Structures are given as structure tokens and as C-alpha cells.
Amino acid sequence: MSTLQPFPGAIFPQLRLRRMRRSAELRSMIRETRLDPTSFIYPLFAVEGEGIRQEIPAMPGQFHLSVDELVQEAASAFAEGVPAVLLFGIPATKDARGTSAADPEGPVLRAVRELKRALPRLVVVTDVCLCEYTDHGHCGLLDGQQVDNDATLPVLAETALAHARAGADMVAPSDMMDGRVQAIRARLDQEGFEQIPILAYAAKFASAFYGPFREAAQSAPQFGDRRSYQMDPANRREALREVQADLQEGADLVMVKPALAFLDVLREVRDEVTCPLAAYNVSGEYSMVKAAARMGWIDERAVTMEILTGIKRAGADLILTYHAREAARWLS
Ligand code: PBG
């Protein structure tokens, strides 16, 4: 029995947990988890062209943005307290090898350059993957119907290098090839980018919650699925091995993705590693909230805050969320 309790081993009626819930001030004093926009990373979709701000049907409130509009959006988010963006691109052309991923005139690389010019303090993170750039929609190069792990690594490394050359502050490989963190780290270091951190999508599960994103990024696989490289949602111990592997290869930060059906994994990773930990509150999680709110079935603001708080409480330092801008506004 602990003598540190006011009433050792107290139970009702001495113990009343409601005493500290009686006012907003008391509740705030004992709040264990605080949300703060400095932990948000805001994903954005860059497209070709100019003056384009086209809403993504499956993701209300999210847009395909030409580079000029994307800079505006990022500037508003930054002014509202969101320190970082994550860039995805929809290229003009796709081929079997995802060549356009490293095209210096492609939308992502132009966006990186323009963002760093206009908003030097904004943290620009780039998603490194081939699925938006391959005509087959898989995250790596194919050998027949299989995704060829080792042949994909140099292509990912060159893509990450192109992002770093354009001025990206951080690269985030999301392809789930084995060894990609090592390959990217080696290539970046070779070219003098040893200061650029790698945020590894370490425990990325093969999830149906990516559905709206694949519509947004036009990156659905043309045959088969991603289960030969993304993780089985049933596996918790394997997630720890993925995290350990990416850290050994040189990842600076690791991610669990998606967030909501994987909060136990997030907590487990938090308890096992000391590095910064991110969680991706993915497209399907966002769109479900938007859809239910539109139906008038839930209070979007309250539900979103509860979700983001839950992700933080589970152990995330950083949250990648399409709600970043709105949540930052709600928190101000
Ligand atoms: C690219 C990638 C995906 C997401 C982030 N990077 C899609 C996928 O793996 O199919 C999903 C993001 C989201 O759903 O919000 N590989």
C-alpha cells in the first residue's frame, strides 16, 4: 500500500476522481496530453499547370494544387502554425520505371524549389515512392508480376537525391522495400546531403484506409495489390522488426501508418525506441470524418480533436494529417 496517497488505498467515498473534473480550469491543469500544431505535418498534392485548385472528390477540403496554389496553401498553413508539409505529386507522364519521380521539372521538384524560395522556414518533407510515377501503379520496379526489391533501391535513392538537390528538408520513403533507408542514406551522404534526415514509413500496413489517397494520387495498382511489400495489418511484432531495421539502416524518425486501427502498434513502438515517432492519420480516416460530418452524424471539430489527441496519447510526436490546417485554427 503506497503511503504517497492522501488516503492510502483510498476508495469511494474518500476517493472521488470527479473532484478534478469540476471546472474547465481544473481539467486543463491535469490534462496529460496536449495538442499543438507544431506536431502537425500537412500533406499536399502537387499537379502540373497554373492556377489549379481542384477539390479531390474522395477527400473533401483537400485539393490538387498547381505549384503556385500549393505555395499559397502552404503559406496559409504556416501562418496558422503548421510548421511542415509533405509533398506528393501527380506527374504528366508515367512509365514502367517511374522515371518522372526524379524529373526536375515535375510538380514535386518545382514545388520544393518554390516553397523554399517563398517560405524558407517551412519544413518541406517529400514522400519518396514510385507508385504515383509508374504506369502499373506499384511502389517499385517490376520483374514480371513481382515487385523487384533490389532493382528498386537505386531508383528510390536517385529520387530522394533529386528531392534533396531541389531543397527538401527531409525525405520520407513510403515504398516499403527492404534496404531502402540504407540505399537512400548512402546516396545522400555521397552527394553531400548528410544533414538531410530520413523519416521512414517504417511500419506501413497494407490498408484499405488508403483508398481515397489512391484516387487523389492516381496511384492504385493496375493489377494485384501491395501485400507483398506493405505489412499484414495483423502483425504487431513484425512492426517492431520493421522499425528496428529502418533505425539500423539510418532512419532519423520512424512512422506508423495508418494511425487509428494501429494505435497499439504506435504505443508499442513508443515504448521500444527513443527516436522521434510519427503517425499518419491517413486519407480514409480523414474522409470518414468528413463524410459523417456532412451527414450531420458527428461533430467534426470535436471528433477530429479526439482523434488527434488519441494519436498523440498513443505515443506520436508528429502527426501527418489532412486536418492539420483546420486543427491548427481550432487550437489557436
Ligand atoms: C505511397 C503512399 C500512399 C500513402 C502515402 N504514400 C499510398 C499507398 O501506399 O498506397 C497513403 C496516404 C493516405 O492514405 O493518406 N506509397
Q: What pLDDT, in 10s, does the model give residues 114-156?
A: 999 999 999 999 999 999 999 999 999 999 999 999 999 999 9
Does pLDDT of 1 surpass 70? no
Residue type, 24: A
User: Quick one: what percent of the chain has pLDDT higher than 90?
Assistant: 95
| Ligand 1 within 6 A of CB of 129 | yes
C-alpha cell read off for 150: 533490389
Distance from Cα 12 to the centre of ligand 1, integer Å: 49
Q: Is 224 left (phi over 0), alpha (psi -120 to 50) or beta?
A: left
Q: What is the pLDDT of residues 66-79, one digit of tens each?
A: 999 999 999 999 99
Q: Is residue 23 part of a domain?
A: no
Residue with C-alpha cell 533490389?
150
Q: Is residue 85 part of a domain?
A: yes
Average pLDDT of span 197-217: 96
pTM value? 0.96
Give dist(CA 134, CA 196) in Å, integer.
Answer: 26
Angle between helices 67-79 and 324-331 (to 10 degrees): 30
pLDDT of 249: 98
* pLDDT higher than 70, residue 204: yes
**Residue 86 belongs to a domain:** yes
**In which band, very low, low, confident or very high, does the pLDDT at 2 lie, cut at 50, 70 and 90?**
low
Residue 14 lies in a domain: no
CA of 2 to the centre of ligand 1 (A): 49
What is the average per-residue pLDDT within 6-16? 82
Q: Which atom of ligand 1 is nearest to the CA of 322?
A: 15
pLDDT beyond 90 at 194: yes
pLDDT in tens, 224-244: 999 999 999 999 999 999 999
- 205-225 mean pLDDT: 94
Is residue 97 predicted with pLDDT exceeding 70? yes
**How many domains does one find in the chain?**
1
pLDDT of residue 74: 98
Inform me whether the pLDDT recorded for 5 exceeds 70.
no
Residue numbers of the domain that contains 295: 34-331
Q: How far is the CA of 205 from the centre of ligand 1 (A)?
A: 10
What is the average pLDDT value for the chain, to the nearest integer? 96
Interval 22-35 mean pLDDT: 98
Evaluate: CB of 133 within 6 angstroms of ligand 1.
no
> Do the domain assignments include residue 172?
yes
DSSP state of 172: E
Residue type for position 263: L
The pLDDT tens digits of the residues spanning 295-311 come to: 999 999 999 999 999 99
CA atoms of 112 and 126, how far apart (whole Å): 8
CB of 172 shorter than 6 A to ligand 1: no
pLDDT score for 9: 73
User: Average pLDDT of 28-49?
Assistant: 98
Q: Quick one: pLDDT at residue 191? A: 98
Kindly tell me if the per-residue pLDDT of 6 is higher than 70: no
Q: Are 126 and 89 in contact (CB under 8 A)?
A: no
CATH number at residue 53: 3.20.20.70
pLDDT-derived band at 10, boundaries 50, 70, 90: confident
Q: In the prediction, which pLDDT does 7 show?
A: 64
294, part of any domain: yes
CB-ligand 1 contact for 139 (6 Å cutoff): yes
Which residues belong to the active site?
204, 257
Cβ(142)–Cβ(96) below 8 Å: yes
Could you tell me if 126 and 86 are in contact, meaning their C-beta atoms sit under 8 angstroms apart? yes
In a domain, 293, yes or no: yes
Instruction: Please check whether residue 323 lies inside any domain of the structure.
Output: yes
